[in-house]
Structure 1
Amino acid sequence: MAFSVYLLRCNDGSYYVGHTEDLEFRLAQHQAGTLGGYTAKRRPVTLAWCDTFAERDQAFWVERKLKGWGRAKKEALIAGDWELIQALARKRVANPASTSSA
């Protein structure tokens, strides 16, 4: 069984990160607002990025990592800009007191 990590763009421009074993079903839940929580009040949502992993632990680890990323890094991921992701990671290491927004 495969597990997906996904990044949604909400109607208010914010991002939501999650993981699931059934991406199509989970997206339908987010769209319908049946999950409640963050995305229910920010619909409609669009799938901005996703990746698949063989093990749930891998997907959960990636989800937690992405939840810690700031907006610029998430947008670089969506664009597939690995150089920018690396540059933003180096910038954060160089300035650990900086804060990032989701």
Structure 2
Amino acid sequence: MASSEHYFYVLQCGDDSFYAGYTTDTLRREQEHNKGIGSKYTKARRPVRMIYKEVFGSRTEATKAEAAFKKLTRKQKEHFLKVRGTHLPSSGPDGI
């Protein structure tokens, strides 16, 4: 049976970079990334932690949100996360 919840999620990697993805099970997906089987990108940047997730009614909506996030600059991604209540460690003189 297919899941009716489709998630766009953002991980913060061990090197403080962001990874955006799509899943139907956020807990399983975070565990996969931390086991090194989630993606080539995160495998070299463990540990990762899920810092944001947003649920959508369809895969199409969730993957569109993922694609839009990936097009943002680092500063825009930080702003996106901040306005949605995600706490990020201070990474510069502006405290962003």
* Coarse TM-score class (shorter-chain normalised): 0.7 to 0.9
1:48, CA displacement in angstroms? 1.6
Please state how far the C-alpha of 1:35 moved relative to its aligned partner: 2.6
Q: How far apart, CA to CA, are the structure 2 residues paired with 1:6 and 1:76? A: 16
Q: For residues 55 and 64 of structure 1, what CA distance do their matches in structure 2 show? A: 15
Residues of 2 paired with 1:46 and 1:9: CA distance? 5
Q: Percent identity?
A: 32
> Which of 1 and 2 has greater Rg?
1
Structure 1: state its 5+ residue gaps.
Answer: 82-102
Moved over 4 A (4+): none
| Rounded Cα–Cα distance in structure 1 between residues aligned with 2:23 and 2:34 | 15
User: What amino acid is aligned across from residue 12 of structure 2 in structure 1?
Assistant: R
Equivalent position amino acid for 2:51 in 1: A
Q: Which runs of 5+ in 2 are unaligned?
A: 85-96
TM-score w.r.t. structure 1 length?
0.75
**Hey, what does 1:96 align to over in structure 2?**
none
Offset, 1:50? 1.1
State the one-letter code of the partner of 2:50: L
C-alpha deviations, 1:36-69, integer Å up to 9, x for none?
4100010001112110000000001111110111
Aligned residues: 81
| CA distance in 2: counterparts of 1:28 and 1:35, whole angstroms | 8
SS of 1:58's equivalent? helix
Instruction: Judging by fraction of residues, say which structure has more helix.
Output: 1
Which secondary structure state, in structure 1, belongs to the residue aligned with residue 31 of structure 2? Answer: helix
- CA RMSD, aligned part only? 1.1
Please name the residue that 1:93 is paired with: none
